[in-house]
Structure 1
Amino acid sequence: MRKLLPLVGTPSDSHPGGRSALTCRFRCGDACFHEVPNTSDNEYVGDVIAGALSRRAVMRAAAVVSVATGVGAGAVVPAAAHGGEGEGRRRKPAKKPQGARGLRYSSVAPNTADAVTVPEGYRQNVVVRWGEPILRGAPAFDPEKQTAAAQSGQFGYNNDFLALLPLPGEHRRQLLVANHEYTDEVLMFRGYDPENPTREQVEIAWAAHGLGVVVVEEDRRTGALTAVPRHPLNRRITATTEFRLTGPAAGSELLKTSADPTGRKVLGTLNNCSGGTTPWGTTLHGEENFNQYFANATRATDKRYGLGTGATERKWERFDQRFDVAREPNESHRFGYVVELDPYDPTSTPRKRTALGRVKHEGATVRLTDDGRPVVYTGDDERFDYFYKFVGSKRMKRGGSRAAREHNSTLLDEGTLYVARLTGDSPAVEVDGSGRLPADGEFDGSGEWIPLATSTARGAVSHVPGMTAEEVYVFTRLAGDKVGATKMDRPEDIEPNPHTGKVYVALTNNTNRGTGTNPAADEANPRNANKHGHILELTERRNRADSTRFAWSLFLVAGDPKDPATYFAGFPKDEVSPISCPDNVAFDPHGNLWISTDGAQLGSHDGLFGVATRGPRRGELKQFLTVPVGAETCGPLVQDRRVLVAVQHPGEVNGASVEKPASIWPDGPGKIVRPAVVAVWRADGRDIGV
């Protein structure tokens, strides 16, 4: 058996926010160790955009991130616990647990097991792993003989957002759509040299990024969900797939390159984190930490987006000049958008929707106004950045006719883009940065959606003084700076509750809050050095999705329930699970909020939690599962009888490599660690948590 590396166990072994150094290195380009991009008096807040295409700063730093090697102590479970294949469906759970409807399961205790740990009476299986062939002609996965051609027909790496869509006429089958956010080259390639990657390794990584569409089928006997290879709807979209830029910025001078003088066609999508499904049957995917793929950037606008001035970690710029900003100054402007995909049409061209703005989109979720117009919520995952709303001007057409599909394919190109400004209702002296509740017993207040730009069929209009509409859509962060949006603690996933209409914003953490010259705590972000994060609950005026006013309160302030600086919507804290670093969120059929975590700082692995949002048990939070060593819980999806999670970057521990794995999940000793999608269901076949 291979000797396993110990778990990360002390703060010195991890980066701010609880992630390992390896995660920070490959997922976000060590964003937490860079200067905070949003500073109130930097030059880019002024009139820098006018000269953005021609000016070059004089400073260049050729820093290449190196990996930390320190590790702490921990434990793993025997190999027999790995894999988690389903067993018979008709076993009765022991004693019926108490809780809100949908949350009646026995809470999983915090742990550091190298496994997906689920409640008593539940079963699980791996639905699809990195490298499994899903397209016709794709070979079986062989990590020692992997090629770019093979990877382009196989399930991609580091699955994140998940969607399950119906497949009419195909019994017990659904259409699974997954994001493939980023690659861990040191965990993919034996003998990987980070200073000298080969062209084949780089092209494999290009093919492992992007999106995946694969039909999945339920086993009626066991409840397991498995991929259906070579189905005609299966599809891989990679870093080299052709996309269309649509909306008000398409064709702009800011988006034109030597390879695309039209400014309307771009190759690939990068760092897709979370996403959403639309009422008209498409999926949305947020391009997040795209900045890390671009080298040699020197402009002030690049600085606002976190682009570096030297070489990149992966060295893609050596193999394709579009990743070298010095040679292709506009290529990076073509990433950082919300992508829309029609998973039912494998011949369709995915589209990047510029009307939703360019930021580090964690995801994008949709609801309809009372009169049928789309509203899209999205967060910008960066310390001290903002969250946004787009309100469309065109109504969705019902039905599956060709005319309806063509009309709905334009819904996200016309409308108004807004950014949020929040105001607390407590005296500033009562928000001291400790997390102690103010005198009125809640962190709460009012807010407004500030318009940034409006796009119509006739053109677009900027609402930001000193910026054109095209500049607002391409440099959306700067627009938010100019109108005084509220600086938040890493806005991640945003989900409207389909039962109540309230909107929930996950704020993962911000250890820079209140340090040095950085902004101190405010009522919406009430803790300095905030390492555990919180969740905001937003009620739009008259509960109308197109309202420009809202009330807000903090629904959950994460951390150890024994810590007085935590809050669980007023529910008794001795009856909830500890939680840290909320990331992706989703709703179950009962209106409970399900929260996945990223970088938890409480000594346990990341996991998935359910919490009641209404009724007498509002705020009751219960842990449903934990993920293996080094992994993050992503893409939660909760159906009546099944929960799906994406187990992302298992084994991503400081010092780990193919030769020295930190995890043996999901296939046991002697096998390469592989990100995968996991399904969980009740052994007795009944609904989840009832």
Structure 2
Amino acid sequence: MTQTPSRPLLSLTPVTPTTTNRHGSRSRMTCFFRCGNACDHAEPNRTDNGHIQDEITKAVQRRSVLKGAAVGTGAFVVGTGAASGGLSAAAVQPARATSGDLATSPFKAVAPNKRDAVTVAEGFTTSVVMRWGDRVVAGAPAFDAAKQTPEAARQQFGYNCDYVGVLPTGRDEAVMVVNHEYTDENLMFPADTYTPAQIKAIAMSNHGMSVVEIRRGVVPGDWRAETNLRKAKLNRRLHIETEFKIVGPAAGDERLMTIDDPSGRSARGTLNNCAGGSTPWGTVLSGEENFNQYFDKSGALDARYTAQYARYGITGTGKGWSEVDSRFDLTLDPHEPHRFGWIVEVDPMSPTSTPRKHTMLGRFKHEGANIVIAKNGKAVAYMGDDERGDYIYRFVSAEKFDPARTAKARRHNLTLLTKGTLSVAKFSGDGSEDGEYDGTGQWLPLCTDTTSYVEGMSVADVLIFTRLAADKVGPTKMDRPEDVEPNLVNGKVYAALTNNSNRGKPELPVDEANPLASSMVRASPGAPLTSASGNRNGYVLEMTPVGGHAASRFTWDLLLVCGDPAAAETYFGGVDKATVSPISCPDNVTFDNEGQLWISTDGNVLGSNDGIFRVPTQGPLRGQVRQFVTMPRGAEACGPLIYDKNRSLFFAVQHPGEIDGATFENQASTWPHTDDFPRPSVVVAYRRR
């Protein structure tokens, strides 16, 4: 590699070093590299959809007061203790077993902190499963930060892992599938080592997904990557050059045809993969999220797509990738962004299979997709569009799931996401004075694989420009709907609504499903609470299907109004606030075998590092949030997954050390402390023997 002295990396990007975070614990670096400073721009959704008009009244404000008062004046006394990790004795949940079962084992909640470490509840420990740069396929070179190449990156574990899926392949073996969402060039590359073009090419190849075989360790609950890569036949890296097949009703549409693929049926690479889910037929779904930020322009943009580009936040100001690959130049190839923003399906059991992009599930900033089989046998996928003021979606397959364990059944099941009905959610408040945020909802159909229900739009129009189609049918604008997952124990569906600093402004008035125009925040653990505009701490929404997952109606309530228990606006399922941990900015969710909710956070505005929390969803402790683990400095928690009969909690530590002003030579974190620079990694937590 030619080594040309490079200017300081921060000068490659419009990021100003500062010690003041933009959004809670989220640094300016994270905002730029992860989503292209999306919050600096007006919401792409400029419609007046979705305001529950009967609740844009003083009644909504009164409910905030009622929720704070309902727990008694003691909430303000004990809440301060909770904010510093001092929960009362009542916070320790009763347990039926202590065999390492994460669902039933009691634990003392982890105190909010700013340590550069993964801090897990007492009695438990953690192991690093895979780190950025670790070898994935046989023949891959050992990682060397000073000798990175695109070719090496495509054989190594990518950067900034997010979703983690684990599928069993034997009693003590499994295959792990991980997303690599984005890169931070400031932290990845030593100065005076790479040219700007080399940096871009290597960063491009660090996106995508990794499939890695893992084996159980000596201690039950512990898992390690298979070290004999010649034996790990399922291992593979999906990257910017990997071929993906485009399937579903929009495949072959003119707007998916590019210079690279004039058929409109094949795409290269997958970008900004965030959350995901495992299917009942043994594949993994991955959501392409902030894909809009990767495209540049060398001249004028195609006037045919002015409205479409605007609705997706595509401006032509990207990451400079077009200098390395011309397909990222919108002026030259205006259709290339239409090939991203899909749900990707990967078959980890077939390393030679071609992964697919599903047009039937719509195109938007997918956080992920999660499947449940409805009582009528159809596959139902729940999805969130992670943008301020965007929507929650659902897909119901046309055909039924075949539970037989035969090759024929699996071939059938692999077609389930190509035909069916795509809908978007509309929420209505109950209009009562009961002190609850709840109501009813309905799924508004957008299209089937053969019929559009949106006036003036064809099926392909709806699927390629799903946001514009949804705008026309009047769904409810939500506060950054991220992970949306069905709970297989209680039959309900849970959505993480991360935050929305603009909620309460004229363009986004409060309603019963999005009730807060201001929230309380902290500068650091134990610091005074101060008021900030908008919904800063987020919610967890609970939806109950009426008539089953494939039916058109549901009821809903806010299980959690997140924040510090000392703040009047917070609500934790009705449980005593003295027994809860502070929680801010829910992002991803998962469930254990008892049906308890596990929540990871991203962007904590309560002054602490992000973490993962356990929350009962039913019974007398419903809503009792308890922190199980905290992340290192600058990191968010991603992809929580309870596995192995509740003995293992897998999660990803994303962007450790991503703190303003940090560079490769001046790191803010060295986690996992194997090098003098941070390495995003997948971790497993389990009971210490």
Per the TM superposition, whether the score is higher than 0.5 is yes
SS in 2 for 1:165: strand
1:586 counterpart = 2:590: yes
| Deviation of 1:11 (Å) | 11
| Paired position in structure 1 for 2:508 | 519
1:143–1:672 CA contact under 8 A, matched in 2: no
SS in 2 for 1:27: helix
1:277–1:366 CA contact under 8 A, matched in 2: yes
| Paired position in structure 1 for 2:670 | 664
| Deviation of 1:365 (Å) | 0.3
Structure 2 counterpart of 1:366, one-letter code: I
Matches within 5 A, 1:75-474: 97-99=92-94, 102=103, 104-168=106-170, 171-191=171-191, 198-221=196-219, 224-229=222-227, 230=229, 231-296=232-297, 297=301, 299-310=306-317, 312=318, 314-426=319-431, 439-455=433-449, 460-474=450-464
1:17–1:509 CA contact under 8 A, matched in 2: no
In structure 1, how many angstroms separate the alpha carbons of the residues matched to 2:314 and 2:269?
Answer: 18
| Paired position in structure 1 for 2:496 | 506
| Paired position in structure 2 for 1:65 | none
| Paired position in structure 1 for 2:686 | 681
Between stretches 101-110 and 546-555, larger displacement belongs to 101-110
SS in 2 for 1:571: coil
What does the per-residue CA deviation read over 1:236-263, in whole Å, with 9 as the maximum and x for residues that have no partner? 0001100000001000011111121110
SS in 2 for 1:461: coil
Structure 2 counterpart of 1:332, one-letter code: P
SS in 1 for 2:451: strand
In structure 2, how many angstroms separate the alpha carbons of the residues matched to 1:470 and 1:410?
Answer: 18
Cα separation, partners in 2 of 1:416 and 1:192, compared to 1, 3 Å: farther
1:552 counterpart = 2:541: no
Structure 2 counterpart of 1:29, one-letter code: G
Q: Normalising by the residue count of structure 2, what TM-score does the alignment of the two structures yield?
A: 0.85
Structure 2 counterpart of 1:292, one-letter code: Q
In structure 2, how many angstroms separate the alpha carbons of the residues matched to 1:682 and 1:158?
Answer: 26
SS in 1 for 2:249: coil
What does the per-residue CA deviation read over 1:41-69, in whole Å, with 9 as the maximum and x for residues that have no partner? 79xxxxxxxxxxxxxxxxxxxxxxxxxxx
2:23–2:605 CA contact under 8 A, matched in 1: no
Q: Where has structure 1 moved over 6 Å in runs of 4 or more? A: none
In structure 2, how many angstroms separate the alpha carbons of the residues matched to 1:588 and 1:126?
Answer: 21
SS in 2 for 1:499: coil
Structure 2 counterpart of 1:448, one-letter code: Q
Structure 2 counterpart of 1:98, one-letter code: Q
| Deviation of 1:224 (Å) | 3.4
SS in 2 for 1:609: strand
| Paired position in structure 1 for 2:44 | 37
Q: Normalising by the residue count of structure 1, what TM-score does the alignment of the two structures yield?
A: 0.84
Cα separation, partners in 2 of 1:648 and 1:295, compared to 1, 3 Å: same
1:115–1:629 CA contact under 8 A, matched in 2: yes
SS in 2 for 1:332: helix
| Paired position in structure 2 for 1:641 | 647
In structure 2, how many angstroms separate the alpha carbons of the residues matched to 1:35 and 1:493?
Answer: 23
SS in 2 for 1:478: helix
In structure 2, how many angstroms separate the alpha carbons of the residues matched to 1:488 and 1:98?
Answer: 32
In structure 1, how many angstroms separate the alpha carbons of the residues matched to 2:189 and 2:95?
Answer: 46
1:134–1:228 CA contact under 8 A, matched in 2: no
| Paired position in structure 2 for 1:475 | 465
| Paired position in structure 2 for 1:14 | 21
In structure 1, how many angstroms separate the alpha carbons of the residues matched to 2:504 and 2:41?
Answer: 17
Q: Count residues in correspondence.
A: 600
What does the per-residue CA deviation read over 1:182-202, in whole Å, with 9 as the maximum and x for residues that have no partner? 111111111279xx9533322
In structure 2, how many angstroms separate the alpha carbons of the residues matched to 1:530 and 1:419?
Answer: 22
In structure 2, how many angstroms separate the alpha carbons of the residues matched to 1:100 and 1:122?
Answer: 16
Structure 2 counterpart of 1:149, one-letter code: E
In structure 2, how many angstroms separate the alpha carbons of the residues matched to 1:585 and 1:316?
Answer: 33
| Paired position in structure 1 for 2:660 | 654
In structure 2, how many angstroms separate the alpha carbons of the residues matched to 1:602 and 1:412?
Answer: 40
In structure 2, how many angstroms separate the alpha carbons of the residues matched to 1:188 and 1:354?
Answer: 34
In structure 2, how many angstroms separate the alpha carbons of the residues matched to 1:199 and 1:511?
Answer: 36
In structure 1, how many angstroms separate the alpha carbons of the residues matched to 2:466 and 2:219?
Answer: 51
Between stretches 149-158 and 594-603, larger displacement belongs to 149-158
> How large is the RMSD of aligned CA atoms in angstroms?
2.0
SS in 2 for 1:537: strand
| Paired position in structure 2 for 1:79 | none
1:423–1:447 CA contact under 8 A, matched in 2: yes
Identity rate, percent: 52
| Paired position in structure 2 for 1:56 | none
2:380–2:397 CA contact under 8 A, matched in 1: yes
| Deviation of 1:450 (Å) | 0.2
| Deviation of 1:99 (Å) | 4.0
SS in 1 for 2:598: strand
| Paired position in structure 1 for 2:478 | 488
| Deviation of 1:664 (Å) | 1.3
SS in 2 for 1:261: coil
| Deviation of 1:205 (Å) | 1.6
Structure 1 counterpart of 2:209, one-letter code: L
What does the per-residue CA deviation read over 1:396-438, in whole Å, with 9 as the maximum and x for residues that have no partner? 22334332222111110000000000011126xxxxxxxxxxx
Cα separation, partners in 2 of 1:11 and 1:377, compared to 1, 3 Å: farther
Structure 1 counterpart of 2:507, one-letter code: N
| Deviation of 1:374 (Å) | 0.6
SS in 2 for 1:480: helix
In structure 2, how many angstroms separate the alpha carbons of the residues matched to 1:377 and 1:683?
Answer: 35
In structure 2, how many angstroms separate the alpha carbons of the residues matched to 1:17 and 1:254?
Answer: 39
2:119–2:631 CA contact under 8 A, matched in 1: yes
2:610–2:631 CA contact under 8 A, matched in 1: yes
What does the per-residue CA deviation read over 1:154-211, in whole Å, with 9 as the maximum and x for residues that have no partner? 111111001111113xx41111110111111111111279xx9533322222221111
| Paired position in structure 2 for 1:563 | 567
Cα separation, partners in 2 of 1:289 and 1:100, compared to 1, 3 Å: farther
| Deviation of 1:223 (Å) | 5.2
2:136–2:210 CA contact under 8 A, matched in 1: no
Structure 2 counterpart of 1:522, one-letter code: D
In structure 2, how many angstroms separate the alpha carbons of the residues matched to 1:145 and 1:133?
Answer: 14
Structure 2 counterpart of 1:346, one-letter code: P
Unaligned 5+ segments in structure 2 are: 1-16, 50-89, 97-102, 518-533
1:17–1:511 CA contact under 8 A, matched in 2: no
In structure 1, how many angstroms separate the alpha carbons of the residues matched to 2:437 and 2:574?
Answer: 12
1:208–1:238 CA contact under 8 A, matched in 2: yes
| Deviation of 1:371 (Å) | 2.7
Structure 1 counterpart of 2:663, one-letter code: S
Cα separation, partners in 2 of 1:106 and 1:11, compared to 1, 3 Å: farther
Structure 2 counterpart of 1:302, one-letter code: Y
1:20–1:652 CA contact under 8 A, matched in 2: yes
